Amino acid sequence: MTSHWIDMIHADVAMVMGSNVVENHPVAAKWLARAKERGSLILNVDPRYTRTSSFADHYCQFRSGTDVAFVNGMINYALEHDYIQREYVVNYTNASFIINPDIGFHDGLFSGYDEAKRKYDAATWQYEMGADGMPLRDLTLQHPRCVYQLMKRHFSRYDVDTVCSITGAPREDYLKICRNYTSTWAPDRVGTWLYAMGTTQHTNGTQNIRTYAILQLLLGNVGLAGGGVNALRGESNVQGSTDFGLLFHILPGYNPSPLAAEQGLAAYNAANTPTSKDPKSANWWGNRPKYVVSMLKAWYGDHATAANDFGYDFLPKRDGDYSHISLFEAMYEGRIQGLILLGQNPAVGGPNSLKERAALEKLEWMVAVDLWQTETSTFWRRPGTDPASVQTEVFLLPACSSVEKEGSVINSGRWAQWRYKALEPVGESASDLWILDSLFKKLRAEYAQGGALPEAITKLNWDYGTPEQPDRHQEPDVHRVAREINGYFTRDTTIDDKGTPKSFKKGDQVPGFPMLQADGSTASGNWLYCNSYTGPEPKDNKLARRDGKDAANEIGLYPNWAWSWPMNRRILYNRASVDPAGRPWNPKKWVIRWNETEKKWEGDVPDGPWPPGEKHPFIMRADGHAALWAATLKDGPLPEFYEPLESPQHNLMSSVQVNPAIKLWHKSNPELNPVGEEATYPIIGTTYRVSEHWQAGAMTRNLPWLAELVPDAFVEMSQALANQRGIVNGDRVQVVTARGAMDVYALVTNRFQPFRVDGRLVHEVGVVWHFGWEGIVKGDSANVLTSHVGDANTMIPEYKAFLCDVRKITGGVA
Amino acid sequence: MNAMLIDSTRCVGCRACQIACKSWNELPSEKTQFFAGKGYQNPKDLSATTWTLITYNETKRRGRFDWVFGKRQCMHCLLPACATACPVTALKKTPEGPVVYDSSICLGCRYCQLACPFDVPRFEWDKVFTKITKCTMCADRVAEGMEPACCKACPTDAIVFGERSKLLAEAHARIDANPLNYVHHVFGEKEMGGTCVLHLSDVPHQELGHAGGLSEEPASAYSRPAMASIPFVLTGLGIGLGAVSWVVNRRQQLAAQQKEIERLHEIAEQAEGKEPGGTNS
Ligand code: SF4
Ligand code: SF4
């Protein structure tokens, strides 16, 4: 989230799209309820009427996978009616920037497309540069090639009728959403946008989010209290795992993982460190080398020296895509020998899970670290499989639960909160930290004998207070881990802090990331967390703070409750919450403001200390401006609508049916990757969760009380479809796609309604994906239906839209 | 006197309350299949092991489709029919608000069950000694200065706990502040002489599964005579009741006749057509 959970209460309008916040983040409903009490309007857009819809003031249905069309239409509505916060747009976004003369867009494709490679060359998407090396701008927004004019042309194609015809949204409901949401263009009216996996899990997932960001920027809603583009993360610590480099393409702190082409630290820095000629650009990523070297110092300690590029050569270099689908395709091809899973259950949660279960059989060994015996850990005895035919050696390491260990959890609002151990771990279970520490010790002993690049392991700086031989009763010191993440000085150092010299002793904790250095004098496991643990004692652990006093602006920042990255800033981009003179756009709910007498900012920790107007507010962008136009994406600088890979409808916007930059696995790896056609599979399918179960279900299908509430997998469908198929509520039915079939109960409901798309009726059904063959209550996962295809930029699988059919199982009983 | 105000316009149907109730009161799960009521409802009804239940109701609100959630539980009447009907005061209204139950003196006659206008008390049949079960308003927590478990768990403050007169005022204030958003009726303010559980809703209360057509008179005015005059003509029920009260008398006198008691229980169960309750665990 660019803001945080509590901040929702300040929204004049809250839009929930691509999220079922009330069901899947019920505690968030607390803040939405407070918002409602204060008179906020809650809008909800979803293919099906959910518990969130029932909570909302206005609901609009739309067909799964048509998000880009829906919001592009809202952007068009805002541009057409001039419902934009003009001063914000001109000063803080790249609306005024002029684009390369060769920029073009024709029939669904931007200039630079290579059809054979399914790839864009983004050269023509770049800014036109002046002689001074700065981008050319037209602050009147009149130049035909300025971003604003390009946007006006691009989005004008998304008129209300076209959008409603594509999405199936009823016209009146759609207009109500447009009118209400765009009302937040007024400087002192704010809208928040909440989204989750309903947005990301599409072949257009990144562009879905781009539509939200663009609209929020046009309306001037980013950086203000009650605003923002807010990803509601799907698990309690997903924010933390992303911050710490869980994904293959990033190192901790959002530094890119090195590519094979980036041999040597200098090459890496050159490729990944942006520059700017604009004196008003803070260009914060220009500091990247400091953060990467500090991380290497934390990892390799004294073995990281200037002479050896601080151990950069020890890091693995990647030569492509190691995302989930790619890994499982490689596994299926027999190119992966072993797999370690920590709290992951791809046999239920992975897309095209029949293929992924088959891929697991190709492994020589697998280690599952989990609280429960998950379906993945017993894939070898799944229904229909003879265990004797599976050669994989499987180990299950019992992990303890979060209440049985001490440590931190980082919530969607970037608050890092410390938790304490309440109970001893049950049985032989152990903390993840203990398991990893012990595994590391054993691996280091092995690599001491030799192996491929043993230094990557043997030279690691690893001391968390445990003996060489793992001892079940000696837990690694989690505070040492937290202190290393914050970072420390590796030698006595004096730093020039804006003219004032500041001296630090070797071993002192680094007070904040502005002090991190690229010369090896500082170590920090994750620069974003530098400032979180600023002394040697547990009392210096800011994550453990529990002071309920609010900041001067009284907007619920609670700055001394836990700690938030970066530098305890609670609302990101908060320099955009004030006008260029430093006056809050919304004085009633100000986030920061400039105190002219004391020459300093008040309120939240500002995005940098500079006085108003001295720096552009979007400090993480090299040009300092928020990107309405994004030349860095793989599938276009502006969002364009394409249909999901499987869809019953041809694209009404252009002749390009699906996202032109996605990888087509059914073409490159056809085995077990079939794609269905409308003739056989005429119904749109989608997948989702319910309040009562959690993800792949291990933590909830093993709990009798939750099992009682939702004991079986089910498919939700409209009365109209049920009538057509002779199905009544409670019937056993089969949902089938080109990839697999599952037997489930039919829940017939008015909460699903068919869509009128391009003049004809289209049906959609939704299936929960929580179930598998383990646990107290069993069933199958909706992921036997989903496919191996992902977003063009993130490779997140398209779980949310596919083609299926629903058939009544004759003789079935409720 | 303590009370609970349950505002269905704030309820999101998450069922944290239903689980918190089972958790605090250590009630086992029930064996369920698919869904037993409308929408996601499970189990089918209040029972010996389910003291509160969220109902899912597809309806219309101001002309538009809506999905609304109700919460069923004991209403903790000001003048409870159950207590009035009880021949041995096993059920008692406490000055703090909860209507509590003392199993040690209960005869097992089930008069309370028949008397309750809200269809709340349930019998536990799978125990040697029958006893009635229902929501206690977490009297044990309340005695320690805590709010009831369901209230504590509710993420949206759809359930609030406090002094009845204050909650009643709060309920009316909410209606007055948002007259379009509520039906102008606090369910429980006057029903059966008033209750300690008050409901607010934006659809008619009966659509959430609450009893309709109730008198404003407390049941005490007529429940005992009414009970006395119930002819046990419904055979199944008659056998059940007869058997049980007979059993309880025996229990108090002759614990040795255990076998006979069990036999009579079986008869009672068969007569009720009840299945022994299984669990999902
Ligand atoms: S609702 Fe029924 S059981 Fe509860 S106090 Fe009233 S009469 Fe007694
Ligand atoms: S916990 Fe609250 S919001 Fe959830 S179902 Fe119960 S009353 Fe409704």
Instruction: Report the percent of chain B where pLDDT is more than 90.
Output: 62
A293, A172: one domain: no
Q: Would you state the pLDDT for residue A236? A: 86
What is the dihedral sign for C-alpha B12, B14, B16, B19? positive
Choose the residue to mutate in B2, B52, B75 for probing ligand 1, maximizing ligand atoms within 8 Å of C-beta.
B75
Alpha helices in A244-365 (DSSP H): 265-272, 288-300, 324-332, 346-349, 353-360
Among protein residues, the one whose CA lies closest to atom 6 of ligand 1: B77
Strands A488-489 and A522-523: antiparallel
Beta strands per DSSP E along A600-740? 600-603, 683-688, 714-717, 732-736
Structure tokens at B77: 């009447």
Q: Would you state the pLDDT for residue A462? A: 96
**Cβ burial A619-637 (10 Å sphere, 16+ → b, else e):** bbbbbbbbbbbbbebbbbb
The domain boundary, picked from A217, A236, A255, lies at A236
A767, A784: one domain: yes
Is A363 within a domain?
no
Whether residue B261 is predicted with pLDDT greater than 80 in this model: the reply is: no
Distance to chain B for A562, nearest Cα, Å: 21
pLDDT average, residue stretch A747-761 = 97
- Ligand 2 center from residue A52 Cα (angstroms): 13
Q: Would you state the pLDDT for residue A235? A: 85
A219, A246: one domain: no
Is A555 within a domain?
no
pLDDT average, residue stretch B8-12 = 95
Task: Provide the pLDDT confidence category of residue A304 given band limits of 50, 70 and 90.
Answer: very high
pLDDT average, residue stretch A245-257 = 95
A303, A180: one domain: no
pLDDT digits (tens, 9 = 90+) for A287-299: 999 999 999 999 9
Whether residue A676 is predicted with pLDDT greater than 80 in this model: the reply is: yes
Is A603 within a domain?
no
Q: Name the residue of chain B whose CA is nearest to A690's CA.
A: B14
Residue A489 CA to residue A466 CA, distance in Å, equals: 23
Residue A357 CA to residue A359 CA, distance in Å, equals: 5
Domain range for A674: 665-808
A95, A228: one domain: yes
Q: Is the peptide bond before B87 cis (omega within 30 degrees of 0)?
A: no
A81, A184: one domain: yes
Residue B148 CA to residue B138 CA, distance in Å, equals: 5
Whether residue B260 is predicted with pLDDT greater than 80 in this model: the reply is: no
Distance to chain B for A80, nearest Cα, Å: 30
A198, A306: one domain: no
pLDDT average, residue stretch A76-96 = 98
The domain boundary, picked from A182, A206, A236, lies at A236
A281, A179: one domain: no
Ligand 2, residue B16: give the atom nearest the CA: 1
Interface contact flag, B280 A33, Cβ < 8 Å = no
Asked if residues B243 and B267 have their Cβ atoms less than 8 Å apart, the reply is yes
Interface contact flag, B157 A27, Cβ < 8 Å = no
A270, A212: one domain: no
Q: Which of A29, A747, A751 sits opposite B12 (nearest CB)?
A: A29
Interface contact flag, B156 A30, Cβ < 8 Å = yes
Q: Would you state the pLDDT for residue A504? A: 97
Residue A726 CA to residue A709 CA, distance in Å, equals: 27
CATH code of the domain in which A121 resides: 3.40.228.10
Q: Would you state the pLDDT for residue B239? A: 35
Asked if residues A596 and A634 have their Cβ atoms less than 8 Å apart, the reply is no
Whether residue B226 is predicted with pLDDT greater than 50 in this model: the reply is: no
Is A375 within a domain?
no
Residue A747 CA to residue A688 CA, distance in Å, equals: 14
Domain spanning B81-137+215-273: CATH 3.30.70.20? yes
Interface contact flag, A33 B18, Cβ < 8 Å = no
A519 in contact with B, Cβ within 8 Å: no
Residue type for position A551: A
Among protein residues, the one whose CA lies closest to atom 8 of ligand 1: B82
Kindly list the residues from chain B whose CB atom is less than 8 angstroms away from the CB atom of residue A30. Answer: 155-157
pLDDT digits (tens, 9 = 90+) for B117-131: 999 999 886 666 678
Asked if residues B123 and B113 have their Cβ atoms less than 8 Å apart, the reply is yes
| Least confident interval from A426-430, A795-799, A809-813, B110-114 | A809-813
Interface contact flag, A708 B13, Cβ < 8 Å = no
Beta strands per DSSP E along chain B? 2-7, 53-61, 64-72, 91-93, 99-101, 122-124, 131-133, 159-163, 197-200
A53 in contact with B, Cβ within 8 Å: yes
Q: Which helix (H) or strand (E) holds B90?
A: none
Place of tokens 């320690």: B144
Place of tokens 């064996």: B31
Asked if residues A673 and A788 have their Cβ atoms less than 8 Å apart, the reply is yes
Q: Which of B12, B42, B67 sits opposite A708 (nearest CB)?
A: B42
A56, A156: one domain: yes
The domain boundary, picked from A236, A255, A275, lies at A236
A253, A119: one domain: no
A247, A182: one domain: no
pLDDT average, residue stretch A107-129 = 98
Task: Provide the pLDDT confidence category of residue A721 given band limits of 50, 70 and 90.
Answer: very high
Question: Three-class SS of residue A522?
Answer: strand
Residue A105 CA to residue A469 CA, distance in Å, equals: 63
Interface contact flag, A30 B10, Cβ < 8 Å = no
pLDDT digits (tens, 9 = 90+) for A491-500: 999 998 888 9
Place of tokens 């989990």: A370
State the total domains in chain A: 3
Instruction: Report the percent of chain A where pLDDT is more than 70.
Output: 100
Ligand 1, residue B192: give the atom nearest the CA: 6
Instruction: Supply the ipTM of this predicted assembly.
Output: 0.92
